[in-house]
């Protein structure tokens, strides 16, 4: 906990209250463990003097926090109307097929991939946009999916 505690203390020094540092603290937790568990919520609650129920409300409100384990490569495909018109559903199908996930929200048997649909990644002019972890990829087609997956370490 040494390095993480030092990082959290640095974050806390930037905010007027401990509660104000909740979102970055949740990011730290998710980055370290891959998701935000109930145990993690309790740990943050104790450190920030916030109730676990309050934190659970925040975690369940924001879609960027994972409330269950996900694959090492978390793949988000935009399926908002403009992207759907440009073939987003076929991109989703291609990711599901080539990752072995089988269905949205499931993790592949090897633990490498989880694929979900999201509403608007803010790149309607570059359909179909995809986020893989923190990397943004524009103009993804079903045909480009195998190459994209092959480039992931």
pLDDT by residue (tens digit) across 92-150?
Answer: 999 999 999 999 999 999 999 999 999 899 998 899 999 999 899 999 999 999 999 99
| CATH of region 2-61 | 1.10.10
Instruction: Give the model's pLDDT for residue 37.
Output: 96
Domains 2-61 and 73-150 share a fold: no
Confidence of residue 63 (pLDDT cuts 50, 70, 90): confident
State the binding site for [2Fe-2S] cluster.
78, 83, 120, 124
Confidence of residue 1 (pLDDT cuts 50, 70, 90): low
Is the Cβ–Cβ distance between 119 and 64 less than 8 Å?
no
Instruction: Give the model's pLDDT for residue 64.
Output: 87
How many C-beta atoms lie closer than 10 Å to residue 27's C-beta?
14
State the binding site.
78, 83, 120, 124
- Average pLDDT taken over every residue of the chain: 94
Is the Cβ–Cβ distance between 50 and 44 less than 8 Å?
yes
Question: Regarding the domain with residue range 73-150, which homologous superfamily does it belong to in the CATH classification?
Answer: Glutaredoxin (3.40.30.10)
Confidence of residue 18 (pLDDT cuts 50, 70, 90): very high
Is the Cβ–Cβ distance between 141 and 77 less than 8 Å?
no
How is the chain split into domains, by residue range? Answer: 2-61, 73-150
Q: What is the pTM of this model?
A: 0.82
Burial of 58 (0-12, 13-18, 19+ CB in 10 A): middle
């Amino acid at each position: 906990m040494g390095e993480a505690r030092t990082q959290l203390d640095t974050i806390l020094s930037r905010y007027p209250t401990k509660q104000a540092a909740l979102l970055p603290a949740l990011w730290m937790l998710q980055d370290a463990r891959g998701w935000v568990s109930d145990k993690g919520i309790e740990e943050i609650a104790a450190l920030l003097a916030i109730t676990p129920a309050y934190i659970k409300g925040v975690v369940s409100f924001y879609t960027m926090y994972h409330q269950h384990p996900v694959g090492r490569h978390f793949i988000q495909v935009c399926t908002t109307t403009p992207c759907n018109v440009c073939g987003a559903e076929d991109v989703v199908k291609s990711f599901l097929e080539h990752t072995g996930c089988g269905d949205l929200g499931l993790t592949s048997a090897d633990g490498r991939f989880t694929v979900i649909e999201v509403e608007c990644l803010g790149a309607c002019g570059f359909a179909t946009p995809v986020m893989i972890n923190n990397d943004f990829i524009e103009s993804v087609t079903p045909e480009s999916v195998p190459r994209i997956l092959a480039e992931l370490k």
